């Protein structure tokens, strides 16, 4: 509001400027809401041809809604059209619809309509802040953006994690031998926050919308104004952001399309889901939230691995959209009566034999196909069915019929080599359930299918990352009444813990997946695989468990290789355990070496860092702790050959790592090694100066002479042995 201006010290002469208040609280003249102004119609059309032009305009703009009698007016100047027209509709909705569908529409190659509300023109014409004088905008100084992936260049390879306490998020560097060191801070964060899939952004939610922070300073990178957005999600490539608000666009001042501060238009009114372009911070498209969709099942939209497609279920249809147009693929949805759920493969899939079409060109840049799976229940004596479809062709390439199905859950192996469909089935009397595990080998010709039929009901399933093992937790009580709502992972109590692996020696049969180890009646319900595979943690989280126990497992622990004894464990070994009062969740770091475990209970609010075999390394008590989350890392740029070569030559780097570990473990050792490195560097610099000086004088350095003699002569090696210490032991 404009400041009060006092013309005189005398109270009688006190004058106030109310222009800002009058403009802000001006009552709209609703009589103008039915009118629109059309610019860029054909100009200088003689009056004799006006009826023909009026007929064309009336037909076009009549599509938006009924026009009042004599509601189309084309002004004349000098006996010809002036290039604009006025239209009065029966209702304001028709006027708004005309702007929506006809603004930007071309009449011909030379004329494109520009349509506005007459009330808007009236408002801007009377706004004293708008003048006819052109003022050149100030040039904003270019500020280079911070390196958004700078944390990956850390010399010691440290990982980062954020800790959300009350309304403050602190980002820390973590190293095993040191306490976490703060590197960034974000304040006034009352709502949930999370990392983007590749760790580039830290997304925080506020009442106004979503904010992205990042870079070394964790400053604000982008803001997306979607009022009261309670859910948000990223596309896999971090190019798009999806937000959802319970408040439809237009239902509040904060997201009203007529509010100049909002990025929405009339076409977005009533919608609740918005997809944004992260780079431009602009909405690409908004969607309505259908009554059949459950917001508790988030995300509503699911993405393909390459972020080219996203999809959702709408009443017996699978709607697949493509980017960047955000339009329906092939302009129509896929009709799938009764469809319950679907899931995209986490990576592209190389389908053997699918691209071998006679005469078809081979695309050398194609890395694989985008694949999704979906299931439909039993309808009218028709069997339940699991189907696999390719995108964008929408071709169903594999199906599996199922009977007596209670539920299906999809579990993709992270490299999309295998798809496991967990099928919960009813017994004949429908009083109990049991589980079938249906396995699709996605990368083999014709996608072979195999299954494991269990007597128990599996409540949790998890694949080993980058491997072919999996863990199941199954309920011993199979009665339907004992099942809890919310799906797998919510059942506490005594369950069976099983480890499975692929028997590479056998052909694709129902028995090629073998049980490696079974632990019966174990108090566990949750599975957490290390992101690097091999190691896993299981726990018994639950509302009735005050002190959950976390057990750590090595799934490739072969004692006969280490100690020369017979091993009957099939590589499955319990390597440690850990318990924490009030523990609510845990999360592996990207390296697979450490686990963050935290409790946000009133009596015990803290977090701890433990290693992969359950040994506590760091602990911190924090009141009002909400969540702890490690920063994800993007996929490595190294090829498989480069990774294999590095692992093969790991012994060459071990001395360097041992030296760094010794420096971290002891301050005196660190000082000594640092001093030696400095002295060695000085000596090398001295040698380089001496050699350069000799060459400058025309002399031959000693190292060159040694090389010449080595080429001309014969190298003789002699080995001398010297006893340093000798001890004698008496053997009884």
- In angstroms, the CA 301 to CA 242 distance is 8
Q: How confident is the model at residue 365 (pLDDT cuts 50, 70, 90)?
A: low
Q: Which of 292, 296, 287, 291 is nearest to 269 (CA)?
A: 287
- Give the pLDDT of residue 126: 73
What is the band of 354 on the pLDDT scale with cuts at 50, 70, 90? Answer: low
Render pLDDT for 163-179 as a digit per residue (tens, 0 to 9).
999 999 999 999 888 88
Q: Token pair 């004596």 is at which residue? A: 381
| Token pair belonging to 436 | 């079938």
CA Rg, the chain, in Å?
A: 35
**Between 640 and 360, whose confidence is greater?**
640
> pLDDT of 27-84, one tens digit each?
554 568 889 999 999 999 999 999 999 999 999 999 999 999 889 999 999 889 999 9
The Cα–Cα gap between 295 and 96 comes to 30
Sheet holding 396-402, edge to edge: 341-344, 370-376, 384-391, 396-402
The whole-angstrom separation of Cα 367 and Cα 350 is: 7
Q: How many residues does the chain have?
A: 732
Residue 4 pLDDT greater than 60, yes or no: no
129 forms bridges with which residues in the sheet?
none
Q: Using CA atoms, how far apart are residues 60 and 38, in angstroms rounded to an integer? A: 12
Greatest alpha-carbon span in the chain: 129
User: What is the tens place of the pLDDT at every residue in 526-573?
Assistant: 999 999 999 999 999 887 888 899 999 999 986 555 555 545 568 899
Q: What percent of the chain has pLDDT over 70?
A: 84
**Dist CA 39 CA 565 (whole Å):** 90
Q: Is the pLDDT at 3 greater than 50, yes or no?
A: no
At 439 the three-state DSSP class reads strand
**296: pLDDT confidence band, cut at 50, 70 and 90?**
low
Which pLDDT score, from 0 to 100, does residue 588 have?
97
Quote the Cα angle for 342-346-352, to 5°: 95
| Nearest Cα to Cα of residue 409 among 311, 343, 483, 498 | 343
This model's pTM is above 0.85 = no
Highest mean pLDDT, choosing among 188-202, 355-369, 656-670: 188-202
**Reported confidence tier of residue 450, pLDDT bands at 50, 70, 90:** very high
The pLDDT of residue 638: 87
Most confident range (mean pLDDT) of 328-337, 645-654, 697-706 is 328-337
Cβ pair 274, 257 in contact under 8 A: no
Give residue limits of the domains in the chain: 11-126, 191-297, 658-712
703 contacts 691 by C-beta, under 8 angstroms: yes
Sheet of 181-186, strands arranged across: 181-186, 168-174, 159-165, 625-630
Q: Residue 292's pLDDT is what?
A: 66
What per-residue confidence (pLDDT) applies to 21? Answer: 55
SS3 (DSSP) at 612: coil
Site of tokens 């000596």: 683
Report yes or no: 236 and 310 within 8 Å, Cβ to Cβ: no
- Residue 95 C-alpha from the chain's centroid: 41
Q: How confident is the model at residue 130 (pLDDT cuts 50, 70, 90)?
A: confident
pLDDT at 659 over 80: no
> 10-24, 206-220, 387-401, 512-526: lowest mean pLDDT where?
10-24
Q: How far apart are CA 65 and CA 93, in angstroms?
A: 8
- Inter-residue long-range contacts of 365-370, CB under 8 Å, 24+ positions, other chains counted: 370/304, 370/305, 370/306, 370/308, 370/309, 370/344, 370/345
pLDDT at position 488, please? 40
Nearest to 160, CA basis, from 214, 204, 206:
214
Do residues 263 and 275 touch, judged by C-beta distance below 8 A? no
Of 310, 311, 281, nearest to 210 by C-alpha is: 281
Q: Rounded mean pLDDT of the chain?
A: 85
Q: pLDDT value at position 492?
A: 57
pLDDT of residue 482: 57
Query: What was the pLDDT predicted at 486?
Result: 37
Confidence of residue 428 (pLDDT cuts 50, 70, 90): confident
Q: How far apart, in whole angstroms, are the C-alpha atoms of residue 689 and residue 673?
A: 25
- Given a cut of 90, whether residue 125 has pLDDT beyond it is no
Query: What's the rounded Cα separation, in Å, for the pair 425 and 483?
Result: 13
CATH class of 11-126: alpha beta
pLDDT for residue 123 = 75
What is the distance of C-alpha 296 from the center of its chain? 18
Locate 91 and state its tokens.
């209702």
Q: Are 612 and 535 in contact (CB under 8 A)?
A: yes
Ramachandran angles phi, psi of 362, nearest 5°: -95, 125
Per-residue model confidence as pLDDT tens digits over 182-237? 999 999 998 889 999 999 999 999 989 999 999 999 999 999 999 999 899 999 99
Pairing assessment for the beta strands 396-402 and 405-412 based on DSSP bridges:
unpaired
Higher pLDDT, 180 or 727: 180
H/E run at residue 126: helix 118-126
CA 637 to chain centre: 19
End-to-end CA distance of the chain: 101
Asked if the bond preceding 446 is cis, omega within 30° of 0, the reply is no
Task: Give the mean pLDDT of 480-503.
Answer: 68
The pLDDT score that the predictor gives to residue 487 is 39
Please state, in angstroms and rounded to a whole number, the distance separating the CA atoms of residues 8 and 439: 88
- Once rounded to an integer, what is the mean pLDDT over residues 251-274? 85
What are the structure tokens assigned to 576, written together? 């440690």
The answer on pLDDT for 459 being more than 90 is yes
- Tell me the average pLDDT across 286-313: 87
* φ, ψ of residue 150 in degrees (nearest 5): -65, -30
């Amino acid at each position: 509001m404009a400041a009060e201006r006092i013309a005189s010290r005398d109270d009688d002469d006190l004058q106030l400027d109310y222009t800002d208040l009058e403009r802000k609280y001006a009552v709209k003249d609703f009589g103008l809401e039915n009118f629109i102004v059309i610019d860029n119609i054909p100009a200088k059309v003689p009056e004799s041809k006006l009826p023909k032009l009026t007929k064309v305009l009336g037909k076009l703009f009549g599509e938006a809604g009924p026009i009042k009698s004599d509601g189309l007016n084309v002004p004349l100047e000098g006996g010809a059209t002036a290039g604009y027209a006025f239209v009065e509709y029966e209702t304001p909705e028709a006027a708004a619809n005309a702007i929506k569908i006809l603004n930007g529409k071309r009449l011909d190659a030379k004329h494109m309509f520009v349509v506005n509300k007459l009330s808007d023109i009236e408002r801007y014409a009377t706004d004293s802040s708008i003048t006819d004088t052109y003022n050149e905008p100030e040039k904003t100084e270019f500020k280079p953006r911070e390196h958004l992936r700078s944390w990956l260049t850390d010399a010691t390879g440290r990982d980062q994690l954020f800790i959300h306490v009350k309304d403050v998020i602190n980002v820390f560097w973590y190293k095993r031998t040191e306490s976490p060191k703060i590197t960034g801070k974000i304040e006034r964060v009352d709502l949930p926050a999370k990392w983007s899939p590749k760790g580039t952004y830290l997304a925080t939610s506020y009442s106004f919308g979503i904010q992205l922070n990042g870079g070394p300073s964790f400053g604000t990178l982008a803001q997306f104004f979607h009022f009261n957005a309670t859910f948000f999600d990223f596309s896999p490539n971090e190019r798009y952001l999806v937000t959802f608000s319970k408040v439809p666009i237009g239902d509040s001042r904060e997201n009203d399309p007529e509010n100049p501060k909002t990025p929405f238009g009339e076409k977005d009114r009533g919608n609740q889901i918005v997809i944004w372009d992260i780079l431009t911070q602009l909405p690409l498209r908004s969607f309505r939230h259908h009554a059949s969709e459950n917001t508790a099942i988030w995300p509503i939209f699911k993405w393909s691995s390459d972020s080219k497609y996203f999809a959702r279920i709408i009443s017996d249809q699978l709607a697949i959209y493509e980017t960047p147009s955000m339009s329906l693929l092939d302009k129509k949805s896929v009709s799938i009566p009764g469809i319950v759920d679907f899931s995209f493969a986490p990576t592209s899939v190389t389908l053997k034999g699918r691209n071998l079409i006679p005469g078809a060109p081979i695309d050398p840049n194609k890395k694989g196909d985008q694949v999704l799976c979906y299931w439909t229940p039993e309808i009218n004596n028709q069997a339940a069915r699991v189907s696999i479809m390719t995108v964008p062709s929408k071709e169903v390439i594999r199906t599996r019929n199922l009977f007596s199905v209670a539920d299906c859950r999809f579990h993709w192996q992270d490299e999309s080599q295998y798809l496991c469909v967990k099928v919960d089935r009813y017994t004949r009397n429908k009083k109990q359930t049991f589980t079938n595990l249906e396995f699709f080998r996605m990368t083999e010709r014709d996608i072979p299918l195999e299954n494991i039929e269990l007597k128990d009901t599996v409540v949790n399933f998890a694949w080993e990352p980058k491997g072919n093992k999996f863990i199941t937790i199954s309920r011993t009580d199979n009665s339907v009444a004992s099942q809890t709502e919310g799906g797998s992972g919510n059942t506490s109590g005594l369950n069976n813990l099983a480890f499975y692996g692929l028997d590479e020696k056998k052909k694709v049969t129902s028995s090629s997946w073998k049980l490696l180890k079974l632990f019966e009646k174990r108090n566990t319900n949750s599975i957490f695989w290390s992101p690097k595979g091999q190691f896993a943690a299981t726990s018994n989280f639950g509302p009735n468990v005050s002190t959950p126990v976390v057990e750590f497992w090595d799934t490739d622990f072969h004692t006969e290789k280490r100690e020369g004894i017979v091993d009957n464990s099939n590589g499955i070994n319990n390597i440690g355990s850990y318990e924490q009062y009030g523990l609510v969740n845990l999360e592996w770091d990207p390296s697979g070496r450490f686990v963050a475990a935290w409790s946000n209970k009133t009596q015990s609010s803290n977090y701890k860092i433990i290693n992969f075999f359950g040994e506590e390394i760091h602990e911190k008590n924090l009141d009002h702790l909400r969540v702890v989350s490690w920063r994800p890392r993007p996929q490595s740029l190294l090829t498989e050959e480069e990774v294999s070569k590095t692992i093969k030559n790991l012994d060459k780097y071990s001395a360097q790592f041992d030296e760094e570990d010794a420096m971290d473990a002891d301050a005196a050792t660190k000082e000594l090694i640092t001093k030696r490195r400095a002295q060695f560097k000085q000596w090398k610099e001295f040698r380089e100066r001496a050699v350069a000086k000799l060459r400058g004088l025309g002399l031959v350095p000693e190292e060159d002479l040694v090389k010449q003699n080595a080429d001309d002569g014969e190298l003789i090696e002699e080995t001398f042995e010297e006893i340093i210490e000798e001890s004698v032991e008496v053997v009884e």
